[in-house]
Amino acid sequence: MGDVMEDRWITDRHASERWPHYTRANAGEVLPSSASPLSQQLCWENGIMHGWRDGYVRGGNYTLDEFTDGEYEVAGFFGGYFYINLSHVRMQGVRSPLLTVEQLDLAFFGDHPDVPPYVPHPLDERPDLVEGILGHLAWVMSTTSVPEVDAEKVMTIELRRSRPDLGAASDDDIVARVRMVQPLLGKLFDSHTPPSSDSAIAPGILGAVCAAIGEPETAMKLLSGIGDVDSAEPSYRMWELSRLVKNSAELTSSFDQGVQGLVGRLTSSQAADAKKFVAEFEQFLVEFGSRGPNEWEISSDTWETRPEIALAAIDRIRLQSDDESPRLRNDKKAEERRRLTSDVRAKVAALGEELAGQFEGALVAGTQMAVRERTKTNIIRAVNEVRVAIRELGRRHADAGHLRDAHHVFMLLDAELEEFVKNPAAFTDLLADRYRTWKEIQNLEPPFIIRDGVVPPLGQWAKKGASSATKASAGDVVQGVPGCPGTYVGRARVILDPADPRDLEPGDVLIAPNTDPAWTPLFMACGAVVVNVGAAISHAIIVSRELGLPCVVSATDATLRIPDGSLIEVDGDTGAVTVLEVSS
Residue 4 has a pLDDT of: 45
Distances in whole angstroms, Cα of residue 41 to Cα of each of 12, 156, 292, 415, 432: 10, 22, 21, 9, 19
List of residues 6+ apart from 78 with CB closer than 8 A? 9, 12, 15, 22, 446, 450, 455
- DSSP single-letter state for residue 14: P
CB atoms within 10 A of CB 539: 23
Which of the four pLDDT bands, split at 50, 70 and 90, describes residue 111?
Answer: low
CB distance 21 to 88 below 8 Å: no
Q: Which residue has the higher pLDDT, 79 or 232?
A: 79
Amino acid at 11: T
Using pLDDT thresholds of 50, 70 and 90, give the confidence band for residue 41: very high
**What DSSP designation does 116 have?**
P
Query: Does residue 276 surpass a pLDDT of 60?
Result: yes
Instruction: Tell me the three state secondary structure of residue 148.
Output: helix
CB 71 within 8 A of CB 13: yes
**Torsion sign across C-alpha atoms 339, 343, 348, 354:** positive
Residue 47: which residues within 8 A CB-CB, separation 6 or more? 182, 183, 184, 185, 186, 189
At residue 115, the pLDDT reads: 82
**Is the confidence at residue 287, as pLDDT, over 50?**
yes
Backbone phi and psi for residue 376, each to the nearest 5 degrees, phi listed first: -65, -45
For residue 165, how many other CB atoms are within 10 A of its CB?
7
pLDDT(13) > 50: yes
Nearest to residue 27, comparing CAs of 136, 108, 145? 108
| pLDDT tens column, 333-351 | 888 889 999 999 999 999 9
User: Domains of the chain: which residue ranges?
Assistant: 22-199+366-441, 477-581
pTM of full prediction above 0.85: yes
Evaluate if residue 242 carries a pLDDT over 90.
yes
Distance from chain centroid for Cα 8 = 26
Sign (positive/negative) of CA torsion 184, 186, 187, 191?
positive
Nearest Cα to Cα of residue 152 among 197, 198, 185: 185
Strand residue runs (E) in 290-422: none
For residue 399, pLDDT over 90 is answered with: yes
Mean pLDDT of 258-286: 95
Rounded alpha-carbon distances, angstroms, from residue 228 to 337, 359, 371? 15, 22, 9
Percent pLDDT > 70 in the chain is: 96
User: What's the confidence (pLDDT) of residue 304?
Assistant: 97
Determine the number of helices (DSSP H) and then strands (DSSP E) in the chain: 22, 14
Per-residue pLDDT at 3: 46
What pLDDT band is residue 308 in, cutting at 50, 70 and 90? very high
pLDDT for residue 231 is more than 90: no
| HEC per residue, 345-361 | HHHHHCCCHHHHHHHHH
Cβ neighbour number for residue 178 with a 10 Å cutoff: 21
pLDDT (0 to 100) of residue 535: 64
pLDDT top residue among 196 and 435:
435
Q: How far apart are CA 457 and CA 441, in angstroms?
A: 12
Whether residue 2 has pLDDT greater than 60: no
3-class secondary structure for 193-231? HHHHHHCCHHHHHHHHHHHHCCCHHHCHHHHCCCCCCHH
69 vs 160, residue with greater confidence: 160
Is the CATH number of domain 477-581 3.50.30.10? yes
Of how many residues is the chain composed?
584
Residues 6+ apart with CB under 8 A from 272: none
Gap between the Cα atoms of 465 and 478, Å rounded: 19
Q: Around Cβ 336, how many Cβ atoms within 10 Å?
A: 17
User: Taking 80 as the threshold, does the pLDDT of residue 584 lie above it?
Assistant: no
Mean pLDDT of the chain: 90
Q: At residue 69, does pLDDT exceed 80? A: no
**Least confident piece of the model among 43-47, 183-187, 205-209, 517-521:** 517-521
pLDDT of amino acid 326: 85
Q: Which of 6, 95, 26 is nearest to 538 (CA)?
A: 26
Instruction: For residue 183, give the 3-state DSSP assignment.
Output: helix
Q: How far apart are alpha carbons 517 and 380 in whole angstroms?
A: 10
- In this predicted model, what pLDDT tens digit does every residue of 553-582 receive, in sequence order? 888 889 999 999 999 999 998 899 999 999
Query: Picking from 14-18, 52-56, 322-326, 539-543, which range would have the lowest pLDDT averaged per residue?
Result: 539-543
Ramachandran angles phi, psi of 509, nearest 5°: -105, 120
Burial class (CB in 10 A: 0-12, 13-18, 19+), 97: exposed
Tell whether the model's pLDDT for residue 514 goes beyond 80: no
For residues 505 and 455, the answer to whether their CB atoms sit within 8 Å is no
Contact 224, 332 (CB under 8 A): no
Instruction: Provide the 8-state DSSP code for 123.
Output: T
